[in-house]
A and B are shown apart, each in its own frame.
Chain A
Amino acid sequence: MENLEIARELERISGVNPRKCMKCGKCSGTCPAYDKMEYHPHQFVSMVETGRIEKLLESESLFTCLSCFACVERCPRGVEPANIIEAVRLMKIRPQNENHLHAEQIPELLDENLPQQAIVSAFRKYKK
């Protein structure tokens, strides 16, 4: 099912223009969580471009993205796939009005050995 209205809304939230993608697949070539994902970074971009959003919203892939931003770093066209994935996540979380993680929970969950990036990443993924 195509939903171009939602697709354009996702473009607005993420600030990403999926039509800039030249389908090189470098994002999926670089993705460290590729095998854990049902839909891969290049598919996210393509599915938002063509409005096939519903499948994305149902997919676990939304939360297996590590937010490592390797795809953003290496995309030769400046498409920023991770930002688009982030926008789909927000679209999933916001209507449910439930955050998986709240700021006040952080201090007790904090592990000294956890890399800073992972904390920021978790915030990006689970916080509104």
Chain B
Amino acid sequence: MQRIGVFVCWCGSNIAATVDVNAVTETLAKEPGVVYATNYQYMCSESGQNLIKDAIRDQKLTGVVICSCSPRMHEATFRKAAASAGLNPYLVEIANIREQCSWIHKNKEEATEKAIILGRTAIAKVQLNAPLIAGESPVVKRALVIGGGIAGIQTALDIAEAGFEVDIVEKKPTVGGKMTQIDKTFPTLDCSACILTPKMVEVAQNDNIKIYSYSEVEAVKGFVGNFTVSIRKKARYVKEDICTGCGLCTEKCPQKNVPNEFNLGLDTRRAIYIPFAQAVPKVATIDPNYCTKLNTGKCGVCEKICTAGAIDYTQKDEIVEQQYGAIVVATGYNPIKLDNFEEYAYSQSPDVVTSLEFERLMNAAGPTGGVLLRPSDKTHPHTIVFVQCVGSRDVSGCGKPYCSKICCMYTAKHAMLCREKYPDTEVYVFYIDVRTPGKNFDEFYRRAVEEYNVHYIKGMVGKVAPSGGKLKVQASDLLNNEQLHIDADMVVLAAAIEPDKSARPLATMLTASMDTNDFFTEAHPKLRPVESPTAGIYLSGCCQGPKDIPETVSQASACAAKVIGLLAKDKLTCNPCVAHSDELMCNGCSSCANVCPYGAITYVEKEFRQPDRTMLVRRVASVNPAVCQGCGACTVACPSGAMDLFGFSNKQIMAEVDAICK
């Protein structure tokens, strides 16, 4: 006979204000099997937990139902309390009467009724709960960082510093990410390359870090502590260990007209190239889309002049398989495409540029050697118009609904640098709001206005029309209630930023959740900001949301701390609520294996004795409990009802449904 205890929490007024906790307690006390029922102001507090522990001992409880907040909040707390009183922790059930009841209802009578039903449901389930013992699984002491920008670099360095091995997978030929393309960094205006390149070198030289450049993650299997990752090393047609990075090939290659992605297509490179002088690894890469030798079989200039003999036209993509305990996502961002914003004439005039392109035009290592020249006629621009919020805060469907966060500051930086280097330029910034929270950020923006005399205008540019070598800008000045017409030489668009396109397929591989904007979701928006809800997956940098460099670096280090915390453990406790198959009922149809997202189900040939005492070999499903995450997809897919989940058996769920419908 079951002896069940029911504990109803008030959660201060969170539950008690909407739910009559006394009525719930009294009603549930009459349920079959319930021998003890009480309520308390804060069940999760120490005295609340003691109440539960004492009742377990005194009343010899065989099951506990706690009517409180979501199990996501305190299930672990209450299970621990039960375990310390000698009750198997899996004999504790939570009825969520806060998030799913008191918080969403106003009518006390209805909410109380619902709380009683939810409590009764949990009681029906706990009647059928069986004690479960959690197993343990080892932790592979190696981390994978996907993305080699500043976020990935910082996370990798911090993990390596703690003595663990880290691999960085970077899809470009060099690590460094967006920060390599940036000229100066706000609010101190120190040179981006000067602070980044030492870190890139550090990554390359650290014995604990291995860089897979020009590589992509192909497949991910396994679970926290035990991931198996396939990495595709794309053929760069250059032997990485032999190439000295002398760069001779990149000067002699006859294919000169390849758009240079490092300068965002503002100039050209050769078909064999090193992205920039400080690239890590400093190794040449052949672009197979443009290489004459690879496409026609003729040429071979680079092979002839390479004294090291590093060129290998026969190189093929290589797949490397590697084990990891933790995976860090640091896939970063990109500015959005501006196809939906034809009014700014981006596609019509080369003098309308994005802010990142402007960054290259101001950069000493950029296409103009750091001299600001109009892309169309290489003359000095005298009037420059900056447009903020291009595609940000846009719910019309053309752009992104969120604020891209970094644009106000980099636009202030660009405007300031323009006025500093070229005092003869007139600089206009059109803004909707200037958002500059952050240490020394607002002061920076005010300096642009007060000391550098940048014209900040509250309003938006409505259209840009190229005409006679000028850009006719029509805009509103809301504070003066005027429409402005400016003949500009250049227009700079602060394009919204979006997560890298590789993030979505990667999230699918990792079974990590994303929001509607393709930013990775954190396990808790405030309290677990660098972890994904999927165990063993961590988030670093802009893949989680728009961020500037200081914030990215802080998050990257926070992420590393979490990874180190995991890798420092020798064993992890497994979730015992996993699937298992009843071999006598399994007909070997493979339905479960087809739906399993973790690859936890395999098939074995097994001998069974038939009623006539002859033996029969049948193919039956077998679940690897270390890999199974207990999602339950197989239990639904199984046509013969052979698959069941510990802790959430079909019988238990039916009992819950019955209790609700009673």
A residues apposed to B, CB below 8 Å: 20, 22-31, 34-35, 40, 42-43, 70, 74-78
Contact = CB atoms under 8 A, between A and B. Distances in A.
B395 A70 contact: no
Contact of A76 (B393, B459, B478): B393
Interface of B: 343, 389, 393-399, 430, 432, 458-463, 474-478, 481, 483
Given A29-B475, A29-B476, A77-B395, A24 B462 contact: no
Given A24-B389, A25-B478, A30 B343 contact: yes
Given A28-B478, A76-B396, A23 B432 contact: yes
Contacts of B399: 76
A84 B204 CA distance: 60
A34 B393 contact: no
Contact of B395 (A23, A25, A27, A76): A76
A74 B343 contact: yes
B346 to A, nearest CB: 14
Contacts of B461: 26, 29
A81 to B, nearest CB: 12
Which residue among B459, B460, B478 has the maximum number of chain A CB atoms within 10 Å of its CB?
Answer: B460
A22 B460 CA distance: 11
B395 A28 contact: no
B525 to A, nearest CB: 23
Nearest to B484: A29
Given A25-B459, A25-B477, A78-B396, 18 more contacts: A20-B395, A22-B432, A25-B476, A26-B460, A29-B462, A29-B474, A29-B475, A30-B463, A31-B483, A34-B483, A40-B476, A42-B476, A43-B481, A70-B462, A70-B463, A77-B393, A77-B394, A77-B396
A22 B478 contact: no
Contact of A26 (B395, B458, B462, B481): B462
B498 to A, nearest CB: 15
A65 B151 CA distance: 50
Given A22-B432, A34-B483, A29 B459 contact: yes
A85 B138 CA distance: 68
24 contacts: A20-B395, A22-B393, A23-B432, A23-B478, A24-B389, A24-B432, A24-B459, A24-B460, A25-B460, A25-B477, A29-B461, A29-B462, A29-B463, A29-B474, A34-B476, A35-B483, A40-B476, A40-B483, A43-B481, A70-B463, A75-B396, A76-B394, A77-B395, A78-B395
Nearest to B460: A26
Contacts of B459: 24-25, 28-29
Contacts of A24: 389, 432, 459-460
Given A22-B432, A24-B389, A29 B396 contact: no
Which residue among A30, A31, A70, A78 has the maximum number of chain B CB atoms within 10 Å of its CB?
Answer: A30
Which 3 pairs from chain A and chain B are nearest by CB? Answer: A30-B462, A29-B462, A26-B460
A43 B476 CA distance: 12
A72 B109 CA distance: 47
A23 B478 CA distance: 9
A42 B396 contact: no
Contacts of A43: 481
A6 B44 CA distance: 53
A20 B396 CA distance: 11
A43 B178 CA distance: 41
A76 B387 CA distance: 14
A74 B476 contact: no
B389 A74 contact: no
A28 B477 CA distance: 9
B396 to A, nearest CB: 5
A76 B343 CA distance: 13
B495 to A, nearest CB: 13
Contacts of B393: 22, 76-77
B433 to A, nearest CB: 8
Contacts of B475: 25, 29
B483 A76 contact: no
Nearest to B461: A29
Nearest to A70: B462
Contacts of A34: 476, 483
B378 to A, nearest CB: 30
A28 B396 contact: no
Contacts of B474: 29-30
A34 B459 CA distance: 14
B645 to A, nearest CB: 45
Contacts of B395: 20, 76-78
Contacts of B481: 40, 43
Nearest to B400: A76
B462 A76 contact: no
Contacts of B460: 24-26, 29
Contacts of B477: 25
